[in-house]
Chains A and B, each alone.
Chain A
């Protein structure tokens, strides 16, 4: 007889996912990881620096195009956005109704009690939503199309110019690498600790407790977690030194990253689009469009 399935409260290892890698071997997948990282960086700049709805819509179109070319199933991508929707809607609503908009020509669209919706506030709400969607899709795109090894190498290479400012590129990439690889180990240890302390009668259930009591209840889980991790860190250091690891200076790599013309092209194209988007934001293109259609209230 099958009982209804309820994942055990102790099963943590399956829940920690950081963004899937879908190897569909498309053109996007074959792009140099450095190019992809630069593109998402440019995207971030565009999203943050531009107030233009039109501009953000252009960025959205660009990202969507890349997703299609990467052969990522559309449903899968949108599924990823689903948990965010209710909050997004809430924030957009907040932006539209409560936060006062600024601008030269405010045309009131709707008014009720102390709520006032202007054309600008509607735009602001839409911009907020779009900003999030573009960033989320952009990051998902990179994660779907780039493996962790590629990413780590990409990060290391991109950080190299920073070495003149004192940033050790190799070490930084290694830190990221260790973090990623340590996560499943951590989840397994955490699960083990949870079970062991529960077996001794520890109670992690909800309840009305004061701050210090809550803090004390955390200790049986968190203190051993940190201690176990620090011990493993020591072991890792010993293992690395036993293999003659001496840091990044003069270190060569098995995997070599080579940039192709298409990588340069991709980054160039992205910069131009982002430049356009920022420009549109700076000239308040929506304001211009609206003013050409509707009169400005005095």
Chain B
């Protein structure tokens, strides 16, 4: 169903979810020693899977713009200050949607659920790699530190994204996941 109005609305709604997750503490899952895992990029992935790569770009832009604004106006941590640079906050986020969408399209013939999970991982890793990459190229952080963050934060974030993507899209599209019934 290729409804252009629907694309606009879903982009707006998913964008709002991303902003909401960032503005409230819902978007941050506490992890090792203070640094939190983020799920703000998950609406980008879900929006791209449901409505296409361009919607993904739009939601990514909103996510990026918000993280820039948050860094400028109400930072919650030292890292937020780096996000006032659009090369760190906006540019990388534009690609999350299209890459997630590509992964989904490529794999959905094989297994819908696997495609959703891998798509979640791909989208999340795009966010991790491109943002950290920008921080490294702009010399905000040494590459050694970046590598550590990529592993300790990036990998768990990818798992979270996969779990959430599968749960939401499977429920929305009424797809069965794995087991054939409840565990009761």
Pairwise interchain contact B168-A223, C-beta atoms closer than 8 A: yes
Task: Assess whether A292 is interfacial by the CB under 8 Å rule.
Answer: no
Number of residues from A at the complex interface, CB < 8 A: 61
Contact status of A182 and B172, CB under 8 A, knowing A18-B23, A221-B26, A240-B5: no
Measured between C-beta atoms, what is the minimum distance from B29 to chain A in Å?
6
- Chain B neighbourhood of A218, CB < 8 A: 29, 39, 160, 164
Tell yes or no: A16 within 8 A of B by CB.
Answer: yes
Query: Does any Cβ of B come within 8 Å of A196's Cβ?
Result: no
Interface size band for B: 35 or more
Say how far A226's CB is from chain B's closest CB, in angstroms. 4
Q: Taking the nearest CB of chain B, how far is it from the CB of A136, in angstroms?
A: 4
Q: Which residue of B lies closest to A221 (CB)?
A: B26
- Cβ contact within 8 Å between A174 and B8: yes
CB of B75 within 8 Å of the partner chain:
yes
Task: Please tell me which stretch of A25-33, A53-61, A228-236, A260-268 contacts chain B, meaning at least 4 of its Cβ atoms lie within 8 angstroms of it.
Answer: A228-236
A19 at the B interface (CB under 8 A): yes
A258 to chain B, nearest CB (A): 27
- A residues bordering B, Cβ < 8 Å? 12, 15-16, 18-19, 44, 48, 80, 83-84, 87-88, 90-91, 99, 131-132, 135-136, 139-140, 143, 171-172, 174-180, 182-183, 186-187, 190, 206, 211-212, 214-216, 218-219, 221-223, 225-227, 229-230, 232-234, 236-237, 240-241, 245, 247
- Closest 3 A/B residue pairs (Cβ): A178-B12, A182-B16, A179-B15
- Other A-B pairs, 11, CB within 8 Å; known A172-B58, A222-B26: A16-B23, A16-B24, A83-B74, A131-B84, A182-B13, A215-B163, A215-B164, A222-B39, A222-B167, A223-B164, A237-B9
